[in-house]
Chains A and B, each alone.
Chain A
C-alpha cells in the first residue's frame, strides 16, 4: 500500500528565502509522485510530477522536486519565495497503473513573511 508523509504541517519563510517542503513516501512498486498546490477557496492545481523519467522535475511557478529513491523522498523546493506562494501544498503518490487512486499527504501550509 502507498502512503505519503509530509513533515511539517506549517512552514514559514521570509520573502526571497529558500522554500523546502518535505515529502516521504512508501510504495511497494515504483511510484508516480505529484505535488499539488491549493490556494484559499480554490481547487488543487498540479505543480509538478515524477513518472520515472528524470529524477529532478521542474514545475510551474519556479518550483522543482527531486525524486530520491534511496531516501524515499520527493521534497519540493523553490530558490526564492514570493508572497504569492502562500498556499497549502499536498504531496501525492500513485502506484502508476492507469486509473489508480492517488494517496495524498496531510498537506503543508506555507506562509511567506514580507
Chain B
C-alpha cells in the first residue's frame, strides 16, 4: 500500500536554528498537509497545500514557517528560527481529495533544546 514517507524520524536542534522537515507524499495525491502534535496534546492543523500554493493555514503557521514543493515528489516544512515551544511531532499527510481521508506519514519528532 502506498505510504507517505517522512524524514528524519527524529531531529534535535538548538533554539534559533533553522530546520527543514521532509515529506514524500503519495505520488498521485494532489493535496498536502502539515499537522503537529505537542506531547500529550491533540493533533493541530498547520497548513494545507494545493496546486503549488498554500490553500489554508492556521494561526500557528506564522512567518517562521514555510512550505515548499521543490520538485514533483518532496513537500517540505521549514521553521526558520526554532523556539522551545516548536518541540512536537510533525506529521505530513496527503490526499487525493478530502472525502478519501488523509494518509499520514509516521512523523518527525522535533526536539528544540
Chain A contact residues, CB within 8 Å of chain B: 32, 34, 36, 42-46, 49, 51, 90, 94, 96-107
Given the contacts A90-B42, A107-B42, A43 and B102 also touching, CB distance less than 8 Å: no
Chain B contact residues, CB within 8 Å of chain A: 4, 31, 33, 35, 41-45, 48, 50, 55-56, 58, 91, 93, 97-107
> Whole-angstrom distance between the alpha carbons of A99 and B95 in the complex?
8
Residue of B nearest to A100 (CB): B98
B99 and A43 form a contact (CB under 8 A) = no
A44 and B91 form a contact (CB under 8 A) = yes
> Whole-angstrom distance between the alpha carbons of A106 and B58 in the complex?
17
Label chain A's interface by main secondary structure: loop
A94-B98, A98-B97 given; 7 more Cβ-contact pairs under 8 Å: A43-B91, A43-B106, A98-B99, A99-B55, A99-B56, A101-B33, A102-B102
In the assembled complex, which residues on chain B have CB atoms less than 8 Å from the CB atom of A98? 31, 97-99
In the assembled complex, which residues on chain A have CB atoms less than 8 Å from the CB atom of B44? 104
Residue of A nearest to B57 (CB): A101
Query: Shortest CB–CB separation between residue A49 and chain B, in angstroms?
Result: 5
Question: Could you say which of B4, B45, B91, B100 contacts A101, with CB atoms under 8 Å apart?
Answer: B45
B105 and A101 form a contact (CB under 8 A) = no
Question: Could you say which of A42, A45, A104 contacts B42, with CB atoms under 8 Å apart?
Answer: A104
